[in-house]
Amino acid sequence: MNNPSSDPPVRTGGTNRLRAAAVSLARWFDNSTASPAAESEPERIDWLRVIPFIGLHIAAAFVVVVGFSWIALATAVALYALRMFAITGFYHRYFSHRSFKTSRLLQFIFALIGTSSVQRGPLWWAAHHRGHHRHADTEHDVHSPVTRSFFWSHMGWFLTRGGFATDTSRIPDLVKFPELRWLDRFDVLIAIALATFLFVAGGYLERNHPELGTSGPQLLIWGFFVSTVVLFHATVSINSLAHRFGSRRYATADNSRNNGVLALITFGEGWHNNHHHFPASARQGFFWWEIDLTWYVLKMMSWLHLIWDLKSVPPERKYAGAAA
Ligand SMILES: [Zn+2]
Ligand SMILES: [Zn+2]
């Protein structure tokens, strides 16, 4: 509607630009479902907030520039393993499904490690994942490859304006912890801290242990960018590939699949049809031949009394409807 008489005069100049920049910056830390960005056009890609995600991939490509060293590769692999475990064991099996109990300190430590994976905070992750289970492969599922495209299920959904929001009504048991709310809001800072540490550590090793053949930029690119990008795509393959490719032991209402290759890459998450059949179980490989690295580590942690009350699938559910 064109009604120039009632429009306020358009002001241009430094103040407005500064204000616009401040609003944009504040948006990076705004995860509320009631934010203007989430409410207007929730399925539109939020290009401003997606810049770090794109930057992550571009930076990883610099691996061809910084060269190779064994210490850089080992750092990348170690950080992949540690953070994959934090995602599968804690973001997923603990925060999203409450499949075991632990202390508030250990809860925070693994939430912190999980946050360094650049998959947003534990509240955001758990809220979306609980929504996925509630609506799996229906039109209300935010990342179904059945009702939407493969690209959408893999990464499109969370690049959108609505995708940044955390629906706290789904996580009343988690949102009461202020330290978790803090991680959720300032997740970017945790990633920056890890990246900075790797850069400084690489510089230190270059000066004091030149025989290792590494440097600040090299440890940063391998340890942070390459490791994080691989970790990200491995994790979200459970949303995309594990709802398309693999076998179905249980006739769940969704299209979830058991996929041994994905289970190896994601430390047990590939037994996704098992998981949708009985999500509360801390163990996703229901049978001895279904390798579930996360479960083995959780079991060892329980022997050390770091975690307890691990839930398992009851035999009557394990064999109910099992085709294999
Ligand atoms: Zn699923
Ligand atoms: Zn789940």
Domain ranges of the chain: 27-318
200 CA distance to ligand 1 middle (Å): 39
pLDDT value, residue 119: 93
* Nearest ligand by distance to the CA of 272: 1
pTM score, whole prediction: 0.88
- Among 311, 324, 312, which residue's Cα sits nearest to residue 250? 324
pLDDT value, residue 9: 47
77 CA distance to ligand 2 middle (Å): 25
133 CA distance to ligand 1 middle (Å): 6
3-state secondary structure of 32: strand
Pairwise CA distance, residues 324 & 319, whole Å: 9
pLDDT value, residue 6: 44
- Among 52, 56, 55, which residue's Cα sits nearest to residue 227? 56
pLDDT value, residue 132: 93
23 CA distance to ligand 1 middle (Å): 35
Please answer whether residues 122 and 95 qualify as being in contact, where contact means their C-beta atoms are separated by less than 8 angstroms.
Answer: yes
Half-sphere exposure of 62 (CA within 13 A, CB side): 15
pLDDT value, residue 21: 66
82 CA distance to ligand 1 middle (Å): 22
272 CA distance to ligand 1 middle (Å): 6
Low-confidence ranges of the chain (pLDDT < 50): 1-10, 324
pLDDT value, residue 13: 63
Please answer whether residues 147 and 218 qualify as being in contact, where contact means their C-beta atoms are separated by less than 8 angstroms.
Answer: no
> Would you state the structure tokens that stand for residue 285, as one six-digit string?
């490989």
196 CA distance to ligand 2 middle (Å): 32
Please answer whether residues 98 and 173 qualify as being in contact, where contact means their C-beta atoms are separated by less than 8 angstroms.
Answer: yes
- Among 166, 168, 167, 142, which residue's Cα sits nearest to residue 155? 142
